[in-house]
A and B are shown apart, each in its own frame.
Chain A
Amino acid sequence: MMNLAWVVPLFPLCSFVLLLLFGRKWGKASAYVGIAATLLSMLAAIGVLADRLGGTTHEVNWTWMTVGDVTLTAGVSVTALNAWMLAVVAVVSWLVHIYSQGYMVGDERFSTFYAYLGLFTFAMLGLVLSPNLLQAYMFWELVGLGSFLLIGFYYDKEEAKAAAKKAFIMTRVGDVGFFIGMLLLFWQTKSFDYDDIFRAVGDGTLSPGMTTVAAILIFIGAIGKSGQFPLHTWLPDAMEGPTPVSALIHAATMVAAGVYLVAALFPLYEASEAAMMTVAVVGGVTAIFAATIGLVQTDIKRVLAYSTVSQLGYMMLALGSGSYVAAIFHLTTHAFFKALLFLAAGSVIHAVRTQNIEEMGGLWRRLPWTAPLFLVGALSISGVPLFAGFFSKDEILAAAWMNGSVELFWLAVAAALLTSFYMFRLFFLVFAGPARHQGEAHEAPASMVGPMAVLGVLSVASGYIQTPWFGSFLGEWLTDGSYHHEAAPGWIAVVATIVSLAGIFLAWLMYGKRAVPRDWLSARAPHTYELLRHRYYIDELYRWTIVAFVSFVSRLLEYVDRFLVEGLARLAAGIVGAAASAGSRGQNGQAQTYGAVTVAGLAILVVIFALTGGYWL
């Protein structure tokens, strides 16, 4: 099955092309095309994974083009990491396709939505299979395009258009770093291939300084794509897109691409102390930063978005602390429970037609399927024992501690407290208490509940593949047997549990039982509250500095274009026009004008003859 791995991205690509061509005619049947394509893709991916479980890395390359003495190749690489990501992405994508059939019902661009989903899935699967940086970059950009198209899906909303542009431009800023890093590596090693780069790192062709610089530059690309601080502001705004999009792209797959990239280039990062430190610090800071903002948001999707940013910070922290396994493990569990949370949020929004949690409440009884599944997701993300999130978060905390970065460890613990607090704040405000919504709230159809249920099971079960007590299957397989589980201090797990439960308890006190008034913090520290509510004013900062500067430059260039360039063009046209009108004045029907012109020509000829003493031809 492994040597047919290239087939996996092709099914969604076919779905995309077919739906572009015939979607309008097929209407509602487009969903079945999309679901079928991703089902086939998923089955193939699981097949590849099964094959790789027992086997070794399979790689195949085809020559793409030869420029001078440089040969560029394109190909497919099935390492353990790639096979695992393939399966995760394919599963989540398939579930989202099924869910969208229920959620997007009645939308007049139904088939276009499925086409874009197909394009995105193709790009993500292709990214994950790339054996070299150039191919990865191409799919990286394509993934960004898919994200742009899907965020701006409701294009008659101004906010959606602006959010799509913001997402694309901000990730583009990160991509510049990626591109420069990629070129630096090519310059030093004459190749884009991962294997060649790792070899160059190993035998010293790549100097330590160059390694650090390239690693950090590529990490900048990851910062953009994974929404780390300071390039995080696009992610919450990307919630303007339909909820299935948020689930697929901004929870499970695209934002994980940054983590995947750093993981795929892990030998490069391991070789550089400074790069690892950068990754870890950025991750840790982002984790706590986003968690604080999530505390005070009132839009259900935005809370989940900041939660995503925060969890991605955790993954980067894991990578920076040297534990690639912990990062991938958390990526997997996060994909499942975050997708579940988003899909459940979508179901809630579908029921009450609002995204403002202040207008929700008491939905536990009215949404008998959605509510428990949401609870499962919330428990998982909060790190409550026996759920998947507990195991993966524990791995990260252990990695941070064992790496020796004490400050980052305590930051991560604080972030965990905040995570469980805001998740349960969300839960209690939405599902508990008196009902504050208008109209009737009805449960979601089966096509929406089904995928959520599957994800619910995965949110619990996926934790057991890597635990200190039941066996570290994932770790051993991912690192081809070189993994050994260092005995982390047992108290870390205890501290993590206490912190999670404390967060839940505090949230219950404040929002469930109402024992503590809601404005306990906001009344005592109004400025802090405002700061958090306005997301640390970072959007405003960007607007007044970077955006203002770029607008100024673009206006300047617009003037140049309008006056200089267009002026030159008009000058050229004007000259021709003037010459034409001058010429046409010579055709006035007067015989004497013609005669004068003739004599003038004669005079010129005669003068030339006189000056050159004869024929000059």
Chain B
Amino acid sequence: MSGTDIAFFLLALAAIAGGVTMLQLTNVVHMVIALVMTFVGIAGLYVLLSAEFVAVVQVLIYSGAITIIMLFAIMLTRHHTDERERQTTGGVWHRAVAAISVIAFGLAVYFGIRQLDFGADGSALSGDNAKAIGKSLYSYYTIPFEIVSVILLVALVGAIVLAKKDGKEAGDE
């Protein structure tokens, strides 16, 4: 049992605990906090996988930006009766069907990936992550890179347009 294994188990535990806790909590803000734990755990796993750059980006974007934006949305749409209402949609049937199908799906895929081994040890990846990513991003993946920037622009404009108040309402407010 090497150190990486222990680290893996702890981080995996953190990630899963965060996910499960998120499902069980009642307060929406608490759910988001639990999710942050998951994101950070996954970042740690990225480090174990010699993906330092991705780990840092994960922390920055996910547990930083996306969590904050979710919290903003929660606060903007807050109802004070949130905790007392039930948290899940549909009746027992709906939840049962969802649970059973998800578990069945999980088990089926698990049987597929159980013995998967390609024999690589991944030593070719350590160090100079940022440099390697930068190289391939600007040579091999240039076009997707540009397109992603366009996507971000479009998302920005779209979000503003969608969430803008109507002219009339702005005048009344």
- Residues of chain A whose beta carbon lies under 8 Å from any beta carbon of chain B: 590, 592-593, 596-597, 599-600, 602-604, 606-607, 609-610
**When A599-B101, A599-B102, A603-B101 are in contact, do A592 and B108 touch as well, CB less than 8 Å?**
no
- Bound-state CA distance A599–B107 (Å) is 14
Of B40-48, B60-68, B89-97, B131-139, which stretch is located at the interface?
A: B89-97
* A603-B90 contact given A596-B97, A596-B98, A610-B112, CB 8 Å threshold: no
Q: Provided the pairs A592-B89, A610-B111, A610-B112 are in contact, do residues A602 and B101 lie with their beta carbons within 8 angstroms?
A: yes
Given contacts A590-B89, A610-B111, A610-B112, contact A596 B105 (CB under 8 A): no
Which residue of A592, A597, A599 contacts B105 across the interface (Cβ within 8 Å)?
A599
Kindly list chain A residues whose C-beta atoms are within 8 Å of the C-beta of B98: 596, 599-600
Name, among A592, A603, A607, the residue most crowded by chain B CB atoms within 10 Å (CB to CB). Answer: A603
A596 CA to B101 CA, complexed, in Å: 8
**Do the beta carbons of A603 and B105 come within 8 Å of each other?**
yes
Return chain B residues, CB-CB under 8 Å to A590.
89-90
The docked-state distance in angstroms from the alpha carbon of A596 to that of B89 is: 11
Q: Which of chain B's residues have a CB closer than 8 A to the CB of A599? A: 98, 101-102, 105
For residue B105, which residues in chain A have a CB less than 8 angstroms away from its CB? 599, 602-603, 606-607
Q: Kindly identify, within residues 92 to 124 of chain B, every residue whose CB is under 8 Å from any CB belonging to chain A.
A: 94, 97-98, 100-102, 104-105, 107-109, 111-112
Complex contacts, A600 vs chain B, CB 8 Å: 97-98, 100-101
Size category of the binding interface on chain B: 10 to 19
CA distance A572 to B109 in the complex (A): 40
Question: Is there an interface contact between A603 and B108, defined as CB atoms closer than 8 Å?
Answer: yes
Distance in Å: Cβ of A28 to nearest Cβ of chain B = 77
B94 touches A596 (CB 8 A): yes
In Å, the complex CA distance between A592 and B112 comes to 28
Residue contact A603 to B89, C-beta cutoff 8 Å: no
B positions within 8 Å CB-CB of A: 89-90, 94, 97-98, 100-102, 104-105, 107-109, 111-112
A591 → chain B closest CB, angstroms: 9
6 pairs from A and B in contact (CB 8 Å cutoff):
A597-B97, A600-B98, A606-B105, A607-B104, A607-B108, A610-B109
A609 to B108, CA, bound (A): 8
Closest 7 CB pairs of A and B: A600-B101, A603-B101, A603-B105, A610-B108, A603-B104, A606-B108, A596-B98
Interchain nearest-CB distance for A293 vs B (Å): 78
B101 close to A593 (CB less than 8 A): no
- Complex Cα distance A590/B88, Å? 13
The residue among B89, B101, B107, B112 with the most chain A CB atoms within 10 A of its own CB is: B101
Bound Cα distance A597, B111 (Å): 23
B97, chain A: closest CB distance, angstroms: 5
Cα of A604 to Cα of B100 in the assembled complex, Å: 10
Among B108, B109, B112, the one with the most A-chain Cβ atoms within 10 Å of its Cβ is B108
Residue of A nearest to B103 (CB): A603
Chain B residues, Cβ within 8 Å of A603: 100-102, 104-105, 108
**Using Cβ atoms and an 8 Å threshold, which residues of chain B touch A606?**
104-105, 108-109
Residue of A nearest to B102 (CB): A599
Q: Are B94 and A593 in contact (CB under 8 A)?
A: yes
Chain B residues, CB < 8 A from A593: 89-90, 94
By a CB distance below 8 angstroms, the chain A residues around B107 are: 607
Determine the distance from Cα of A593 to Cα of B94 in the docked complex, in whole angstroms: 7
| A549 CB, nearest partner CB in chain B, Å | 55
Once the chains are docked, how many angstroms separate the CA of A606 from the CA of B109?
Answer: 7
Q: Give bound CA distance, A597 to B94, whole Å.
A: 9
Residue of B nearest to A606 (CB): B108
A597 to B100 Cα, complex, angstroms: 11
CB proximity of B91 to chain A, nearest CB, Å: 10
Contacting residues, chain A, for B109 (C-beta < 8 A):
606, 610
Closest A residue, CB atoms, query B89: A592
Given contacts A596-B90, A599-B102, A600-B97, 10 further A-B contacts (CB under 8 A): A592-B89, A593-B94, A600-B98, A602-B101, A603-B100, A604-B104, A606-B104, A606-B105, A606-B109, A607-B108
A441 to B107, CA, bound (A): 106
Q: When chains A and B are docked, how far (Å) is the Cα of A606 from the Cα of B105? A: 6
C-alpha spacing A235/B102, complex, angstroms: 82
Q: When the two chains form their complex, are residues A592 and B94 in contact, meaning their CB atoms are under 8 A apart? A: yes
Closest-CB distance, A604 to chain B (whole angstroms): 8
Q: How far is the CB of B85 from chain A (nearest CB, A)?
A: 16
- Chain A nearest Cβ from B46, distance in angstroms: 27
Cβ contacts under 8 Å, A602 to chain B: 101, 105
**Nearest Cβ distance between residue A606 and chain B, in whole angstroms?**
4
Cα–Cα distance between A172 and B98 once the two chains are bound (Å): 68
Which B residue sits closest to A596, measured CB to CB?
B98
B53 to chain A: closest CB distance in Å? 33
Which residue of chain B has its CB nearest to the CB of A600?
B101
Instruction: Name the B residues within 8 Å of A607 (CB-CB).
Output: 104-105, 107-108
